[in-house]
Amino acid sequence: MTDLTTHYLGLELKNPLVAASSALSKKNQTVKKMEDAGISAVVMYSLFEEQITHDSLAFNYYMERGTERFAESLDYFPNLDKYNVGPDEYLERIRKNKEAVDIPVIGSLNGVSNSGWIEYAQKMAQAGADALELNTYYLSTNPEISASQVEDNTVALVQAVCSNVDIPVAVKLSPFFSALPNLAVRLAEAGAKGLVIFNRFIQPDIDIEKMEVDSTLKLSTSDELLLPLRWAAILYGCVEADLALTSGVHTGVDLVKAVMAGASVAMVASEFVANGVERATDMLAEMENWMSAYEHVSVEKMCGSMSQRNVENPAAFERANYMKALQSYDNRLP
């Protein structure tokens, strides 16, 4: 019999299919449906640093009514009253989700500074979160800030949080770091128990009719699996942290690929948003059928079997593969 059990952040999970951070976790009824469909853990939607700051600014406003500072400060932020919920309600939703299901619930913090992070990381743990995902969504646009500064700040932030909470912490990374393996090792040394690859940024488009910047969220496709798949295969065995793969996971075959590359779990959101959380049942059945057909007895034994360190041609994940791909393309040209 095929064993789908896996371990992630010190948690034993019944399978490697985890619900990625998304609005689906806002309703405990939906989280319960996820559990019923077979999903092994759920990552909460993110609490943004700006929301914590916004709460603080609002408090200061009522304490210092009559000054001009609040209005100017508030203009910096989007309308956060209409976006998501405040910190206290977020903590309450963690509690309600924990009451609704038996699977692990992982909190998510999104920010780039220590402001409020440590306090709210601790509050998430107190609310019952089984683990914490730090979503380091940071787009460096200032030419005066160097790559090393960005990395140092990220490591310092992770170290500060990890040293102040007693639940495991994972770091959700961008694919745009110039020396990702080195950063991965540093984050693990700072206390991170897991790395989530990768953060899927919203890429703005230009509406040439309305002459506006369009930031509409577009769901992923299986084609987007290739980038995190490559890096899972490269990082597997090189860093003392569990790997989670996210972006582009839509089928049971995608799940198999993620695990074979070296991921302990694969995180899914777009497929569930597009086709319902019930899709998890089909994805797990497809994975289990494939493993049975190819005589893979367990997820944990299959994990990393196609990582860079375990394939016959390790260079396939590096620069040599680029030249080979170009040559193959050239041969198809008339």
Position of tokens 């909190």?
A: 107
Q: For 275-332, what is each residue's pLDDT tens digit?
A: 999 999 999 999 999 999 999 999 999 999 999 999 988 878 876 566 666 566 566 6
Strands 6-8 and 242-246: unpaired
Q: Compute φ and ψ for 11, nearest 5 degrees.
A: -100, 135
Mean pLDDT across 223-236? 96
State residue 112's pLDDT score: 65
State residue 119's pLDDT score: 86
- For residue 106, give the nearest of 246, 301, 304, 207 by alpha carbon: 246
Q: For 55-100, what is each residue's pLDDT tens digit?
A: 443 333 333 433 333 333 333 334 444 444 578 899 999 999 999 9
> Could you tell me how far CA 244 lies from the centroid of its own chain?
8
Q: Is 331 left (phi over 0), alpha (psi -120 to 50) or beta?
A: alpha
Q: How confident is the model at residue 218 (pLDDT cuts 50, 70, 90)?
A: confident
pTM: 0.86
Q: How far apart are CA 45 and CA 124, in angstroms?
A: 13
Provide the mean pLDDT of the chain: 86
Q: For 11-61, what is each residue's pLDDT tens digit?
A: 999 999 999 999 999 999 999 999 999 999 999 999 987 667 554 433 333
Query: Domains of the chain by range and CATH?
Result: 6-45+84-307 (3.20.20.70)
Helices 28-37 and 279-293: crossing angle in degrees, nearest 10, is 20
Q: Is 278 left (phi over 0), alpha (psi -120 to 50) or beta?
A: alpha
